[in-house]
């Protein structure tokens, strides 16, 4: 990984993340960038927050919890292992730590704290800086195996991807507002409108709110959005079995024929209907059969029209059409009918002879 790479370059919601009763529940870690606001509680494996992060509920960490300086928690903080609190952290409720507690200066815990391990009052070094210094010293001493063991131990408990909230974000039941791209995994359940620079949503995810992005926006198979889907200048991709219960507004639209949109569709550019890959062969064969049946029928009608238009010009004198084509029937003119009746000695001939006499 490059030294200049930023792990908080986008909002990442891993698979299976749910928002339950004003709490963000994740199977893995929860990492929040500095100067962000999370207006509900957080439950996860490890919870890490940067400077000046405000939480509107409780924090429950099965592992460690690290809150950098000037963080504010409106509820309780329950930690299954160790806790690290920077300077001037404010906790409106209780602090319960099962392991060790590193605490900085001027920390305010309104309802008291309890720790089963060591309690050290100091300004703890940030986790990333501590790990970097520790691994660097091991490599300088030539302890490459020890450095690999530390790294493997850190990466061992990564069965679940972490929740990453970028710096200066605002997350609440009403909205998820970030200035970076956003990725929402599969089988998630979120409340609130999502606003991001670019947005992609995984399979079978349900979002109770609208989606808005500056560029491209993609909905995977089976996704349900209880709101509008809007982009300023990008393309909206809606996969099969996806359901948008509002309007779709975009520059270009790629819509699967098995997707469903309840509201209006507004596209300033191109609208493309895409057939599902599983049903593509079944939908093409009936269309080709139908075309083969319709085209000969149109040809037969045109031939019939040409023959009807040609009969009055021939005055019944051209016998070649009737001889060559068995499917046509010659309709005699009135003069031919009168001549035939005279020659046959029928009722018309008897009346003619009576008039002569």
Which residues make beta-bridge pairs with 43?
25, 60
| Residue 211 and residue 232 in contact, taking contact as beta carbons nearer than 8 Å | no
Per-residue pLDDT of the chain (357 residues; tens, 9 = 90+): 333 445 678 899 999 898 876 889 998 899 999 999 999 999 999 999 989 999 999 999 999 999 999 999 999 999 999 999 999 999 999 999 999 999 988 999 999 999 999 988 876 666 666 667 777 888 888 888 887 777 666 555 556 788 999 999 999 888 999 999 999 999 999 989 999 999 999 999 999 999 999 999 999 999 999 999 999 888 999 999 999 999 999 999 999 999 999 999 999 999 999 887 644 333 333 333 233 333 333 333 333 333 334 444 444 444 444 444 444 444 444 444 444 444 445 555 655 666 665
Q: pTM score > 0.85 for this model?
A: no
d(CA 86, CA 229) in angstroms, rounded, equals: 41
What is the number of alpha carbons within 13 Å of residue 251 lying toward its C-beta? 10
φ and ψ at residue 351, rounded to 5 degrees: -65, -35
Q: Who contacts 128 (Cβ-Cβ below 8 Å, separation ≥6)? A: none
User: Which tokens in the block code for residue 325?
Assistant: 């084509």
Residue with tokens 């930023």: 6
Give the pair of three-digit tokens for residue 33. 């960038």
- For the chain, the structural domain boundaries read 11-124+157-164, 181-274, 280-312
């Amino acid at each position: 990984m490059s030294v200049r790479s930023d792990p908080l370059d986008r909002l990442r919601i891993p698979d299976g993340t749910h928002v339950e009763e004003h709490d963000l529940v994740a199977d893995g870690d929860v990492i929040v960038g500095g100067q962000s606001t999370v207006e509900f509680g957080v439950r996860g494996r490890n919870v890490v927050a940067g400077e000046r992060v405000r939480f509107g509920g409780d924090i429950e960490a099965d592992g460690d919890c690290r809150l950098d300086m000037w963080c504010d928690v409106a509820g309780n903080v329950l930690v299954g292992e160790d806790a690290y609190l920077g300077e001037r952290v404010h906790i409106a409720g209780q602090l319960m730590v099962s392991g060790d507690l590193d605490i900085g200066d001027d920390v305010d815990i309104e309802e008291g704290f309890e720790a089963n391990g060591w309690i050290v009052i100091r300004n703890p070094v940030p986790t990333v800086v501590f790990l970097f210094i520790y691994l660097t010293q091991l490599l300088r001493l030539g302890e490459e195996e020890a450095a690999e063991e530390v790294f493997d131990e850190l990466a061992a408990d990564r069965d679940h991807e972490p929740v990453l909230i970028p710096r200066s974000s605002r997350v609440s039941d009403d909205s998820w507002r970030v200035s970076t791209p956003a990725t929402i995994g599969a089988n998630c359940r979120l409340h609130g409108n999502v606003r991001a620079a670019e947005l992609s949503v995984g399979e079978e995810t349900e979002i109770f709110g609208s989606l808005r992005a500056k560029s491209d926006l993609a909905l995977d198979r089976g996704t349900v959005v209880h709101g509008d889907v809007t982009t300023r200048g990008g393309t909206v991709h809606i996969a099969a079995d996806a359901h948008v219960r509002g309007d779709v507004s975009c520059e270009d639209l790629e819509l699967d024929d098995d997707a469903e949109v309840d509201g209006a569709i507004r596209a300033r550019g191109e609208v493309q209907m895409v057939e599902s890959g599983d049903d593509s062969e079944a939908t093409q064969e009936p269309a080709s059969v139908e075309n083969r049946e319709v085209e000969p029928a149109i040809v037969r009608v045109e031939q019939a029209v040409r023959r009807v238009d040609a009969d009055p010009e021939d005055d019944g004198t051209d016998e070649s059409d009737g001889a060559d084509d068995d499917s046509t029937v010659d309709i005699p003119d009135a003069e031919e009918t009168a001549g035939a009746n005279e020659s046959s000695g029928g009722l018309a001939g008897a009346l003619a002879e009576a008039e002569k006499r």
